[in-house]
Amino acid sequence: MNILDLTVKELSGAIAKKELNSVEITQAYLDAIEADHKNPKPINAYISVLSDLAIQSAKKADERIAKGNATPLTGIPVAIKDNMNIKGYPTTCGSDILTGYDTTYNAFVVEKLIGEHGMIPLGKANMDEFAMGSSTETSFYGITRNPYDRDRIPGGSSGGSAAAVAGKLAPAALGSDTGGSIRQPASLCGVVGLKPTYGTVSRYGLVAFASSLDQIGPLTHTVDDARMIFEALSAYDPKDSTSLDFQRKPMSLTGDIKGMKIGIPKEYFLDGMDKDVESVINATIKKLEDKGAKMVDISLPHTEYAVPTYYIVATAEASSNLERYDGVKYGKRDMDAKFLSDMYVRTRSGGFGEEVKRRIMLGTYVLSAGYYDAYYMKALKVRTLIKRDFEKAFEKTDAILTPVSPTPAFKIGEKTDDPIAMYLSDIFTISVNLAGIPAVSVPAGMTSAGLPIGAQVIGNLLAEETILNIAKAIEL
């Protein structure tokens, strides 16, 4: 049995049967990560590897297992995207501006998985700077490579998390999704990625990018694993004012979708669409029909406005959220400045990368007096229309099926000089964040060159069980 080939569920079973212990599992992953560093084209899934903490936690997990009070997740390693806090360790967000910043508290999700369940933190996963991007090429800590083709990007911004799982450098990972950052890299790396309903998973201790859109979720090999981790994460948290307080029920995933109505939105299937993506999605539709689901043609008429709306709302919120990195409160400070305002300018100009600065400027512009109504207010109104499109669609469907990404993984460097081309990578994922609803990306096929392609299942508010069931039907 090769430890690195096992899913979370299989690892959990092996631990329960005493075939494996947490220290050996953790060590196998730490060895794999170290071996990757020696590869001339490393995957580079991690910004920092927490070897000591991981081994220490694994020893504690084994003691807990021996005492018989473990949960199914105890002792299983996980990679944490580097925008979530692990107390006492750096959180970099892939940015130079946070160099030297050590966190002082655990994120809620870290408290849950590591504190409560006893999962093992392998390290902090690489990401686009402040989660802005679709390729993990804007990280200050170097690019992450796609394990399926090391000359291609893994997607982003949770590219480190997706590549860690796909490259067998972690059995599971946490990512964050503001406009597609869990689902798009999951699709491009051939893993499962769930973006939950807004408010089901607390954002406490997640560095804010666009607070009304950000959600944390799991990246895993299988739908069952995604369910296990999602159920461990989903809980009310009074420390997050947008956390939903409701009774969570355990899910049962059978993959039985007989009689379900699945919407196929015409706006997501345009002429000129990538041939491989088109044939994988068509094959997925056929598979779901064979399993007894009924496909329904639907329309989400405001889809074409999703990308521009997102880039107004997200940049507006980002410009405000990123104001705090001023050289005083966190991380880096320019020490050559002669006076205070000069210190702000020099710290921010030097500490942030190009894409982050572009967004801060755009966001500040759309919020400024004179432009606020024309851009920001207008975008909020369009956001409501996009949300209503989905509400209408769910009146006659149980879920919606779409592609995740317009293309399979592209070449490293292919889009770095063209921000608009990069922004269009999220054309199929962004509306979901604007509407606050859940969606999952599940591996659905391969290109002839062997690159993974995912399918996206979108659900109504809190319909995680429905979309995971459909995802399971696609996976089986």
CB atoms within 10 A of CB 8: 26
**Whose CA is closest to 454, among 437, 476, 471?**
471
* Spatial contact of 118 and 166, defined as CB atoms under 8 Å apart: no
Sheet containing 46-49, strands listed edge to edge, beginning at the edge strand earlier in sequence: 46-49, 120-125, 77-81, 172-177, 215-220, 192-195, 439-446, 452-459, 399-403, 261-265, 294-298
Shorter beta-carbon distance to ligand GLN: residue 55 or 307? 307
Which residue in the list 9, 81, 112, 332 is annotated as catalytic? Answer: 81
Least gap, CB of 152 to ligand GLN (angstroms): 17
Which residue in the list 181, 187, 234, 441 is annotated as catalytic? Answer: 181
Least gap, CB of 423 to ligand GLN (angstroms): 7
349 is a catalytic site residue? no
Least gap, CB of 216 to ligand GLN (angstroms): 11
Query: Per CB under 6 A, which of residues 65..104 are in contact with ligand GLN?
Result: none
Figure out which of the listed residues 192, 194, 288, 314 binds ligand GLN, where binding follows CB under 6 A: 314
Shorter beta-carbon distance to ligand GLN: residue 181 or 431? 181
* Spatial contact of 64 and 157, defined as CB atoms under 8 Å apart: no
Strands 439-446 and 452-459: antiparallel
Which residue in the list 139, 157, 405, 441 is annotated as catalytic? Answer: 157
249 is a catalytic site residue? no
Query: Per CB under 6 A, which of residues 377..436 are in contact with ligand GLN?
Result: 426
Interface with ligand GLN (CB under 6 A), residue total 13
Site string for ligand GLN, 118-147 (x = CB under 6 A): -------------xxxx-------------
Shorter beta-carbon distance to ligand GLN: residue 217 or 327? 217
Shorter beta-carbon distance to ligand GLN: residue 13 or 419? 419
What are the beta bridge partners of residue 400?
Answer: 263, 458
Figure out which of the listed residues 157, 200, 202, 222 binds ligand GLN, where binding follows CB under 6 A: 157
Least gap, CB of 239 to ligand GLN (angstroms): 22
- For 175, phi then psi, to 5°, come to -130, 175
Shorter beta-carbon distance to ligand GLN: residue 218 or 263? 218
Identify residue 106 by its one-letter amino acid code.
N
Least gap, CB of 80 to ligand GLN (angstroms): 15
Shorter beta-carbon distance to ligand GLN: residue 111 or 426? 426
Query: Per CB under 6 A, which of residues 167..226 are in contact with ligand GLN?
Result: 177-181, 209
Which residues have CB under 8 Å from 25's CB, separation 6+? 3, 11, 15, 58, 75, 76, 77, 120
Site string for ligand GLN, 250-289 (x = CB under 6 A): ----------------------------------------
Least gap, CB of 123 to ligand GLN (angstroms): 20
**Whose CA is closest to 115, among 162, 158, 57, 36?**
57
* Spatial contact of 439 and 458, defined as CB atoms under 8 Å apart: yes
Shorter beta-carbon distance to ligand GLN: residue 74 or 134? 134
* Spatial contact of 343 and 306, defined as CB atoms under 8 Å apart: no
- For 111, phi then psi, to 5°, come to -55, -45
CB < 8 Å & 24+ apart, contacts of 444-447:
444/280, 444/281, 444/283, 444/284, 444/474, 445/276, 445/279, 445/280, 445/283, 445/284, 446/190, 446/280, 447/276, 447/408
81 is a catalytic site residue? yes
Interacting residues toward ligand GLN by CB under 6 A: 131-134, 157, 177-181, 209, 314, 426
Q: Which residues are catalytic?
A: 81, 157, 181
